Structures are given as structure tokens and as C-alpha cells.
């Protein structure tokens, strides 16, 4: 154990967001004979992936904070942890964890990496300001999509920026691997087409648009059901909108789920209505499980979904376009199944978790061997792997 290289991940919460869900998934593929992974998070009420991380060998600590300002005040505690646990490299995720983590790592004298899971331009003004002030302290920013990479160029020097696409465990997220009576439990008839989404109920996801699409589709189709999986600050409001639209019995709010696979397994069409995204993990998982995606053309989504081949894309906020795409797939089962099959192939070929972890470990090795990241060294690593 003493010989292992200790890496600390710092993240705002360990709830079921996309960035958070990546941590236990990547841990399954990391070389734990060589690395020992530590995790610090700040929001104690968002802890759904703590046990999965611990189950796969990670060491988790919570530095309790109520908000972003309190997170920034945890810098001394972070410095103490880095020094006392002999951490060799810090890897931060999400804006405010990045702000605090960069300062702490520099004070502790260790390299620090930050993964940008979103589009920098979408952040609140204070978040942008604090990020701009602290990003120069970082040694490398990793962008999860070409869109996030392009937006990051506004605040990060090109030589300190690297693209590493998000990945998914395609061997695990495979259709037909879960046996469930979920449709029967929900009261969804066997002949219904199921349209679902997995999301945190916040404004970015525009789940009010999901409800509006559902209302229009249900008005013309008897054999369609909608399912929303997730929780968040706007859940009560979205549920009220669904009831006002007379969708009771046709739309189901399933709340936070530790295992989303049974929901993907019964899903025919995966609908995303977001205003902005990074490279959404839930979309990768749904496509890996052969769900046909209909989504907004935002963030990294067009990098995953080849429009007309492995899914159908619409402009953000265009309810009519989203509705038309769903109508097309409802009327043409063969095309729906073809798109679902292409979606699975797309993930298998371009967004594997194994490839993602390999690229991350190459970055870690650069810092631990050479003390810094170099794009030239990165190219040498890439050619030899």
C-alpha cells in the first residue's frame, strides 16, 4: 500500500449527477495496483455514489459545506489533507471544487488537474470570476467534449488544455441484462412505447419542455408513456405542470434511483430537452442500452449523436421539432430500432470507459514522471498505447 501513488479527486457532491457518476465507473477500470484514489466532497446530503466508490476501493471523506462560499473556505482543510495523506496529484471536478482545489493544491505544492464537465460560458457571473482568477493556478484543464474545449479556450491557454471524451462501460450497460417487472409495477401496458429521461430537476435540463412534448404526443397517441427519473429543486414545479396538462397515468415521476438500468431497459426513446450540456453521461448510458435518442443540439450532444443516424437532434427550445422527431419514430418502428442499434454501435466504437481511463492515466503518468503536462509527450504516449 505504501508504494501506491495517491491521487485525490475533489468534487462538489457525490450525488447522482453525470460528473459524480463517472467516479465509481472510472475506478473500476483504473490500475489500483499502481494508484490509490482518495475522494473529497462537500455537500453531505448528496452522497448517493459514496458507497459505490468505496465498494470499488476508493477512500471517501466529506468536508461539510452548505454552499459555494463555504466550499471556498475549506482550502486550509484541503491543504492539510493533501499533506497528511501524501497526495501526489489533485484532480478536481465542477467549478467550485475546482476553485478551492486549485488553490489548495498550489499551497500544498502538488500538481492539479481540473476536468471541465460543462460549458464555461454557461456559468453564473461569480463562478466565472472565481474560475478566471484561479484557473492560472491549474496545471491542466481536461474538457469532456469539443464544445467544452472550445469554450474553455476563452480562459485556458491552449498548451494547458486537453480533450478526453467521457466514456461508459458498454459491457455493463447492455440491453436485456436486467430482469424486471418495472413496466407492470408502473402500470405501463406492454404495447406502449416508453419515452424517458434521467436528469437532475434544474433549469438547465428544461424538464418543463419535456412535459410540453409529452402533452402534445399524448394528445395524438394512446400507446405512449413518459417516465422521468431523478430529483432536484424544480421537481415539484414540473410535477405540477404535468398534472395541469392532464398527464396523470401517462407520465411517471420515479425520483432518484440508485440503479437506472431497468429504466433504460424498458425505454424505446430517450428524450433530452436541455438548454446546455457538457457530454452527458446518462445519454451515453441510454445509447449504450440501445435507446433511440431524441435530443437538443447543445454542448457535446452532437459529438455523440450523429443526426439522422444514431439519433435525432433539434434546436434548444424547439418543442415542435422535438415532437416531430418523436412522431416520426412512433410511426416507423423499423427506423426507431435502426437508430437504437446505431446508437449502441456509436458508443461502443467511440465512447468506451476503457479508452477514457487509459487517457487519464497517461496524463497522470506525465505529471508524476515529468512533473508537468506536455502536448508533445502526450503525442508520444498516444502513439505507444
Query: Residue 1: pLDDT above 50?
Result: no
Local structure of residue 291 (DSSP, 8 states): P
Which of 202, 23, 210 lies closest to 124 in space, CA to CA? Answer: 202
Which residue spans within 48-139 are E strands per DSSP? 59-62, 89-93, 112-116
State mean pLDDT over 161-190: 91
Grid coordinates in use for 82?
A: 493533501
How much is the pLDDT for 3? 84
Question: Per residue in 227-276, pLDDT tens?
Answer: 999 999 999 999 999 999 999 999 999 999 989 999 999 999 999 999 99
- What are the Cα distances from residue 238, in Å, to 213, 231, 247, 273? 13, 11, 12, 13
Q: How confident is the model at residue 288 (pLDDT cuts 50, 70, 90)?
A: very high
pLDDT at 345 over 80: yes
Q: Is the Cβ–Cβ distance between 98 and 155 less than 8 Å?
A: no
Q: Is residue 300 a contact partner of residue 277, using CB atoms and an 8 Å limit?
A: yes
| C-alpha angle 218-259-199 in degrees, rounded to nearest 5 | 50
Strand order in the sheet with 269-272: 251-253, 224-229, 193-198, 269-272, 292-296, 312-314
pLDDT digits (tens, 9 = 90+) for 89-142: 999 999 999 999 999 999 999 999 999 998 887 888 999 999 999 999 999 999
> How many of the other CB atoms lie within 10 Å of CB of 244?
10
Q: How far apart are CA 208 and CA 172, in angstroms?
A: 31
**pLDDT (mean) for 139-166:** 92
Signed CA dihedral, 16, 14, 359, 117: sign only: positive
Residue with cell 406492454: 190
Of 361 and 384, the structure prediction assigns the larger pLDDT to 361
Cα–Cα distance measured from residue 119 to residue 144, given in angstroms and rounded to the nearest whole number = 10
Distances in Å between the Cα of 7 and the Cα atoms of 10, 35, 365, 368 are 10, 7, 11, 10
- Tell me the domains of the chain and their CATH numbers: 5-167+352-384 (3.40.50.2000), 182-350 (3.40.50.2000)
> Using an 8 Å Cβ cutoff, are 248 and 270 in contact?
no
Query: First and final CA of the chain: distance in angstroms?
Result: 27
With cell 502513439, the residue in question is 383
Encode 206-218: b = buried (16+ Cβ within 10 Å), e = exposed: bbebbbbbbbbbb
Q: Which of 65-74, 118-127, 374-383 has the lowest mean pLDDT?
A: 374-383
Tell me, what's the pLDDT at 378?
64
| Residue of 82, 96, 90, 83 whose CA lies nearest to 133 | 96
- Mean pLDDT across the stretch 63-89? 98
Q: Greater confidence, 147 or 201? A: 201
How does residue 18 score in pLDDT terms, banded at 50, 70 and 90? confident
**Residue 381: pLDDT band by 50, 70, 90 thresholds?**
low
pLDDT at 54 over 70: yes
Q: Is the pLDDT of residue 174 over 60?
A: yes
Amino acid at each position: 500500500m505504501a508504494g501506491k501513488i495517491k491521487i485525490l479527486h475533489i468534487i462538489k457532491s457525490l450525488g447522482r449527477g453525470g460528473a459524480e457518476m463517472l467516479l465509481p465507473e472510472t475506478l473500476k477500470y483504473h490500475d489500483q495496483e499502481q494508484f490509490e484514489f482518495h475522494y473529497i466532497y462537500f455537500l453531505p446530503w448528496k452522497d448517493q455514489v459514496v458507497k459505490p466508490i468505496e465498494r470499488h476501493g476508493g477512500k471517501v471523506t466529506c468536508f461539510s459545506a452548505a454552499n459555494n462560499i463555504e466550499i471556498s473556505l475549506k482550502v486550509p482543510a484541503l491543504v492539510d489533507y493533501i499533506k497528511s495523506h501524501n497526495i501526489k496529484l489533485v484532480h478536481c471536478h465542477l467549478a467550485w471544487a475546482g476553485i478551492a482545489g486549485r488553490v489548495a493544491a498550489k499551497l500544498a505544492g502538488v500538481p492539479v488537474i481540473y476536468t471541465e464537465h460543462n460549458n464555461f460560458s454557461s456559468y453564473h457571473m461569480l463562478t466565472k470570476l472565481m474560475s478566471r482568477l484561479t484557473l492560472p493556478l491549474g496545471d491542466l484543464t481536461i474538457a469532456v467534449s469539443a464544445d467544452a474545449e472550445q469554450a474553455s479556450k476563452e480562459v485556458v491557454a491552449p498548451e494547458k488544455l486537453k480533450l478526453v471524451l467521457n466514456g461508459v462501460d458498454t459491457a455493463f450497460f447492455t440491453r436485456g441484462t436486467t430482469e424486471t417487472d418495472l413496466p407492470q409495477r408502473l402500470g405501463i401496458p406492454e404495447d406502449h412505447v416508453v419515452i424517458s429521461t434521467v436528469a437532475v430537476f434544474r433549469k438547465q435540463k428544461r424538464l418543463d419542455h419535456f412535459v410540453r412534448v409529452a402533452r402534445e404526443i399524448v394528445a395524438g397517441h394512446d400507446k405512449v408513456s413518459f417516465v422521468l427519473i431523478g430529483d432536484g429543486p424544480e421537481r415539484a414545479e414540473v410535477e405540477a405542470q404535468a398534472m395541469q396538462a392532464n398527464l396523470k397515468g401517462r407520465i411517471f415521476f420515479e425520483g432518484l434511483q440508485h440503479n437506472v438500468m431497468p429504466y433504460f431497459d424498458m425505454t424505446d426513446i430517450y428524450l433530452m430537452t436541455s438548454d446546455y450540456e457538457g457530454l452527458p453521461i446518462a445519454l451515453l448510458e441510454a445509447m449504450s442500452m440501445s435507446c433511440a435518442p431524441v435530443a437538443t443540439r447543445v454542448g457535446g450532444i452532437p459529438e455523440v449523436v450523429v443526426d439522422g443516424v444514431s439519433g435525432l437532434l433539434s434546436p434548444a427550445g424547439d418543442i415542435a421539432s422535438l415532437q416531430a422527431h418523436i412522431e416520426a419514430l412512433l410511426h416507423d418502428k423499423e427506423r426507431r430500432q435502426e437508430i437504437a442499434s446505431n446508437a449502441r454501435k456509436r458508443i461502443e466504437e467511440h465512447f468506451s470507459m476503457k479508452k477514457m481511463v487509459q487517457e487519464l492515466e497517461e496524463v497522470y503518468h506525465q505529471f508524476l514522471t515529468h512533473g508537468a503536462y506536455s502536448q508533445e509527450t502526450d503525442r508520444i504516449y498516444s502513439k505507444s498505447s
